[in-house]
Structure formats: C-alpha cells, structure tokens
Chains A and B, each alone.
Chain A
Amino acid sequence: MTLLRVTERTRGLDSWWRSSRPGPSAARSTQCEHGLRGTPPARTEGSTAGRAVAPLHGGAPSTWGAIYDLYQYNLAQELGENFDGLKKLQGLVEFLPTKQPYIGFGESAPVDGTHDDNAEEQADRRVEVLFFAQGQEPDIALLDEDPKVSELYHPDAFRRVNIEGFSDAKSHRRTLRIFLHDEYQRLMVNTEYELTVGTEVRRGTSSNKGDLVQKKVLPEATGTIRWGGQPALNAPTPGMQLSDMIDKLHAAPTFKYKHDLLLSPGRPAPAVEADRYLENLGYTQELEQNWEQFQLDYGMEVQAFPNNDVLSELRKTHRKGLEPPPLEDDGLADPPHEEFEDDGLFSSQLTVQLVDAGGEPVGGEDFEVRNANDEVIHTGTLDDAGTAIVLGLVGDEHFISFPNWDGSSWDIAKEPENG
C-alpha cells in the first residue's frame, strides 16, 4: 500500500480519477460483464480482471483512482507495453451492442451449464469477462430478449476450457533488423519494402544505411519480405504503342525482390536443409528416396529420416562437393561443376546472432560478412536483440566475424543457414 499512497500524493488522484474514464473492466462490480470483442475467444476462469476488481468495494474515490492507475500500470507491464501501447490495444477492444452488458450469475449461469434456481455452489460465485473474436459473438438479439435462452452458456455453443496461467501476458514478439541488398550486394538505401509475417503486413522504407528495423513482429517461424521498385510498365521495347502503356506508365511500382524469411535463428528445419542439400548433390527424387539413396551411395547403413548422424554426413558431403576439386589427382574423376545445380543466386539469407556465455543476446555489436575469397561483402550492426538478417548475398559460403571482439572471445554457436 505504500505505493498506493505515493501515487495519491504525487498525482492528485482525486481530481484525476473524477476526470478520467475508467477502462472497460475496472469499475464493473462483480457481475459478469460480457460483450467485449477481442481475444481470446474461449471462456476463461480466474482472469486478471476478476481478481483486480475485488478490492474496489468500499474504498474511497481517491483509492479507486490509485487502484485504477496501478491497474493500468500492471496491465501495461503484463502486456509488455507502455501506456501509449496499452491505450492502442484497449482501443482495439469494443463492446457488443447489447442492451444489458452484464449477466447475473448463480442460477442464470451455473458453471455446470444447467439453469437451476437457488444455486449455492461456491464455484458459481465468480466473475467472468468474456471476449469474442470477430464472427464468434453470440446472437445479440436473443441475448437481449432473454439471457436464459441465449447460447452464451449453452455447452453445445461455447465450451469451457481451462487455460493455464501465464507467467506474463507479453506477446513475445521480436525485433527484426534486416539488411536489403540488390543482386550486386549493394545495400539498398531509402528503398521501399513490404514485410509480411503471419497476418501482419508492414510497409516502410529502408534507412540511409540500407537496413530496416521492425519491432514487435509476430513470433512466426517464417515471413516474406519484398523490396525494391519494379515499374508496372515492363522494360522498354521497340515500337511500343500508346495502348501498351495505358494504365501502366503512371501505375505505382511493384516489388522487384522477394525473399521468404526463416525467422528461427540457426539452421532451417532438417527437412528443408536435407532436401536442399540432396538436390544440390544431384538427387532428383523425393526427399525420402534421396535420403535413402544418399546413404546407399556413401556406404552407410540406411537410417530413416530424420537422423542427426546422417544429416551431419550430408552436410559434410555437401560442403565438400561444392568446394573446388583437389589439386592432387586422387584417381577419381572430378565431378563437373554443372552437376551441382545453382541453388539460388540471390536467394541466400544469413541470420547473424551474438549471445554471451550465458546465452543472453549481445546487441549493438558491429559485424562483418566475408565471402569465400575473404572479401568483406557486408558490414552492419546487430540490433538490441543481438541479431541481424542479411539478404541478397550471392554465393554459398559466408563467414561472420565481430571486429570489435577478440577472436578468442567468441565462437560459432550455429553454422550459417547457407551451409
């Protein structure tokens, strides 16, 4: 309560409380409040809201204000937001347009889902705040007409699911720092891009350093980024006519470059990695057949996919296969270079991540990417989360170093995705 008093003194909460508009759930007594549209869609028990409203009974207005203030603070903390961010999230919540946004509990809606007068079970004395996703709302007309016949508490319509408590309600979104290159490995400054991760589409322009930083990106395993202008009108051709240009000459450009991002640092999924390596080595069947044939070809005891030992051998073979042929004649014919198919000029993605000995990310560090000829082809700085994604690199081998770190003070934790 010390904190409450401090808050009262410092903010003059009496006046503040009177002038402020409480949030949707802070001052709504112990009745069930329904009609909040948002997430999650399932009914929940023991929500934060239910716990938080209990102390409101009997308190002085100034205390209510302090509690409301702290309540907002705690909401923001749990969501990993500041007050502006919290306000934006609250703005996404809307009430269903019902005549009566509250339902009394007890016999109206006992937890067992059957209507029963004079229910006295302790479990029925509860607070529920119900959220509905778009399109999952109950029939409002029916609800207004008679809450008892609404499907709101009908077990066939909505199912009660117990959700384990969260340690916090942060979204665990991540920050992405992505460097954009063209096919010449030149950083693309002030270049428009479109980042799609899950259902989110974000557009922007790269910085004058050729990178972009997007915060609070959904925690999806993959995403797509497009960048660089591609005129709607194709390249000029001899004898173009007016009709060839109408609706194209002045149309907004599309994106020239596209890359499917693997947002999980480290290697791609074993199936993706194995499939790609086997194809590069010339195996043309489906993954399972290629996997088996590879082991037979290299005198291994056939193991079903996935198998870490086999995958490790595959990585070694792939790396060896893409290296220049040995200088000394080993008596075997060198495979023609063409045998190794081009696995994607301008298709590589490099995720750089630096963590300390305790596994904590080290942000803000400079890094360099070198190619197989030991030429520095990219320099950059890691984001606050200690990561950076570099797109548009050409070639199969890239090496990362941290020039401000002593070589003995860091090591490669995971090989680059590109092998």
Chain B
Amino acid sequence: MTDFVELWVYLASTPLFGLTATIVVYVLAQAFYARMQHAPWANPTLWSILLIATGLLVTGVAYPTYFSGAQFIHFLLGPAVVAMAWPIWLRRHDLRRHGLSFLVAALVGGAAAAGSAVALAWAMDLPSNVWLSLVPKSITAPVAMGVAEKIGGIPALAAVFAVLTGLVGALSGRYLFDAMGLGFDRAGWVARGFALGTAAHGIGAARANQVNADAGAFAGLALGLQVILGSLLLPLIWRWLG
C-alpha cells in the first residue's frame, strides 16, 4: 500500500500526469458525448473539467502541479487563435458579398453580450475586479485573459467565465434558437452558427461544428471576427471611458 502511495505521489508530481489526465479524460468524455448522440448536456468540455477538478480535489493534487503538464495543451490555444484566420479565409467569398451584414451582426451581438454582462453585474452589485473579468467573456479564453489583464480584471477568472459562457451557449443555444423561431434551413443554420461563434466563442463553435457543417463554418467565421473585433475594440473603449 505504501508503495502505491509513493508511486502515486511520484506520478502526480510529473508533468506527464497533467497531460495524460487531460487527454485521456477528454477522449472518454468525447466518446460518451458521441454515445449520447451529442446531447447538449453531455458536453465533453464541461464533463472533462468537472471530472478532472473533482479528481484533483479528492486526491489533493494542487492545480499548479496539474497545470505543469496540462500547459502543453493550454499552449496550443495561441496557434489555434492564429489558425482562426483559416475559416475566415475559406468564407472570403461570402464575406465579400455579405461582409457588412456579418460585420454589423458581429459588432451588435458582441456589444450586446459584453454590455448586458456589465449592466447585469452592475445591477447585482458585483465587485469591480469580478465584473471587469466578465467584460471579455464572449471572446475565446486566451484572448479574454489578455483583454481582462489590460482592463483591470483577473485573467484566470476571465478564462473561467469565458469557458462558462461557451458552455451556456453550447448547452442552451438550441432551445433559444428554436424559441425565437429560427428554422433548420440553410439561413437558419447560418444564423445559429454565427450567433454561437459570436456569443459563445470556441466552445459554441465546436458545438455548431458537431451539429451542422454550415453552422460550423459560420461559427468559425464569427469566432475569428469576434476575436479580432473584441480584442481591438474593448481595450480602446475602456481607455476612452477611463
């Protein structure tokens, strides 16, 4: 038994542990998600986070120890943000023809998401470092962290809020779109995907991709546009207000 404990202590402290745990749990969560026929509640990001966080709390492994291995996955968010140019480029003909419509929808939708978050946080009397971390939550996590840092929020909290926002969008988007009468024709899928990419960033876009190819393509476009617009405009607006 003591041998096992020693072995566990050794394993839990190497970067290999965090990396392996992240990928293995995610692959299992993904398989479960497929088996549940991509039901929103079976979201693999949600379950991976819950399972790993619970596992760490139960076994007493500290988050920095886990992150020393998981950072190799986290690091890929940087190149992934650069890669978001690809779906924009693939949609360049649509952008040339309907560019203004997409741009206006991205701006209005992004402003509505950030503005309503600030208004609600203010109405609910949340402390300033908390609501400042809520501002960039519709932009994808790594970019949200950078923006939060620039405007005076807490980067780690901003990342968590961004992930939660993505999960809310991925989990409930479908019901909201059905309630507002969006159809399942091509125009309906384009609007569904674009809205998910705008207000629920990468996690919403991943969900859109799993459901419908058109929705996925336009979610990717929206995601890239939101990353560009949000990271350029939010700090400028902040500077102008301050």
Do these two chains interact?
A: no
Interface residues in chain A, defined as those with a beta carbon under 8 Å from any beta carbon in chain B: none
Interface residues in chain B, defined as those with a beta carbon under 8 Å from any beta carbon in chain A: none
